[in-house]
Amino acid sequence: MAVTLQQIAEAAGVSRGTVDRALNNRGRINAEVAERIRRIADEMGYQPNRAGRALAMSKRSITIGVIVQAADTPFMEKVLEGAEDARAEVERLGAEVIIRKIHDFDAQKAVETMYELRQKGCNGIAVVPVDDENLKQTVNEFADADIPIITFNSDIEESKRLCFVGQDTFQSGKVAAGLMADILPGPGKILVISGYPTSYGHKNRTRGFLQEFGKLREDIRVLDVQYAFDDNRMAEMITRGMLREYEDLTGIYLAASGVQGVCKALEESGMADKVKVISNDLTNQNVQYLEEGKIRFLIGQDGYRQGYEPIMKLFEKIFDGKEPEREFAYTEIVIKTRYNLI
């Protein structure tokens, strides 16, 4: 049987009205009393009656904004798929979701889009951020104005965002380093190609890889990190240049997009069998390269969940007053080879 507000009121020794104000974040109530009521409600397994509350939403506007940067990359297609499904789910309950796409990683565009969404009445915003002080200050400003912000796919450290949904990218980089260290003969050199220097996720993967690989293989030199900005042509140019300069190149780790360019350069240079490639994301193109043996390992991060969960968490926060269970809602680190794709 569902737990009622009256049962919570009796357990807390307060009125039903006080419980209602505490659980719905409205009206004046002592902070300590409100916290005690919410704790008792959680312990009793209270679940809000959404069907009944959905009727009240006809008198109350809930709008959630979503900002997806690097929206044209294959991985973000999975993220957008999850976001669209979440939008359909919350819009059935009367809310509205506005999704904005940014072609690349652009801090200024992200800031401008946040203000646009705020002007449109958004009660909460989910954003793929970059490492930028102005964007961080904007996130803090919105949070101070009671507009909760959730970051996903990439994060902003030491900000007032509500939570982060995405991969533990530092640990993902360490996983890639361990795999690379196991499959490479030595001595030789390896190349790390990252995406954007302003992307927290790209930087964190790269940092995790470099830190861990240095502990595992002192006989292999890691070349200076190159940035391809999620562009296959740039990744191809970088790979061709490094192949010309270093005949003993034996491995390439991609911390972001660019696999197509790397594989093209290796194949046309006749080095596809010699140079081992490890990359991220289970996109259709990447999976094909994995099946063909052009990539040795792919590290997945569940893009669908990264698009779906931020919207649902913001809806629960605004609609139910429910706080996220964890500050970091990490998605699973999945290791795929050509033998375990099914």
Tens digit of pLDDT for each residue in 43-90?
888 876 655 555 455 545 899 999 999 999 989 999 999 999 999 988
Over 80: is that where the pLDDT of 323 sits? yes
Count how many Cα atoms sit within 13 Å of the Cα of residue 260 in the half-sphere of its side chain.
11
> Cα–Cα distance between 25 and 208 in angstroms, integer?
40
- The predicted pLDDT at position 55 comes to 46
Q: What confidence tens digit (pLDDT) does each residue in 31-53 have?
A: 788 888 988 988 888 876 655 55
Checking if the pLDDT of 2 tops 70, the result is no
Average pLDDT over residues 181-197: 95
CA distance 126 to 101: 12
Query: How much of the chain, in percent, has pLDDT values that exceed 90?
Result: 75
CA distance 155 to 164: 6
Q: Which CATH number fits domain 169-300: 3.40.50.2300, 3.30.870.10, 2.60.98.20, 3.30.750.24?
A: 3.40.50.2300
- pLDDT tens digit string along 208-237? 999 999 999 999 999 999 999 999 999 999
Of 181, 186, 256, 250, which is closest to residue 211 (Cα–Cα)? 181
* C-alpha–C-alpha distance, residues 166 and 234, integer Å: 26
Of the listed ranges 2-11, 42-51, 178-187, 303-312, the least confidently predicted one is 42-51
Is residue 217 within 8 A of residue 234, CB to CB? The reply is: no
* pLDDT band, residue 29 (cuts 50/70/90): confident
CATH 3.40.50.2300 residue ranges for the chain: 62-165+303-329, 169-300
Share of the chain above pLDDT 70, in %: 94
Q: Which segments of the chain does DSSP mark as H helices, in order?
A: 5-12, 16-24, 31-44, 50-56, 74-91, 107-119, 133-144, 169-183, 200-216, 232-245, 259-268, 284-291, 303-315
**At CA 291, angle to CA 286 and CA 292, rounded to 5?**
95
pLDDT of the residue at 164: 97
**pLDDT on residue 70:** 92
How many CA atoms within 13 Å lie on the side-chain side of 252? 33
Please tell me the predicted confidence (pLDDT) of residue 60.
59
Q: Which pLDDT does position 54 carry in this prediction?
A: 56
Across the range 111-122, mean pLDDT stands at 97
**In this predicted model, which residue has the larger pLDDT, 244 or 31?**
244
Beta bridge partners, 173, equal none
pLDDT for the residue 205: 96
More confident residue, 13 or 4: 13
Query: Cα angle vertex 269, ends 265, 274, to 5°?
Result: 95
Q: Is the backbone of residue 232 left (phi > 0), alpha (psi -120 to 50) or beta?
A: alpha
pLDDT band at 4 (very low <50, low <70, confident <90, very high): confident
Is the domain spanning 62-165+303-329 CATH 3.40.50.2300? The answer is yes
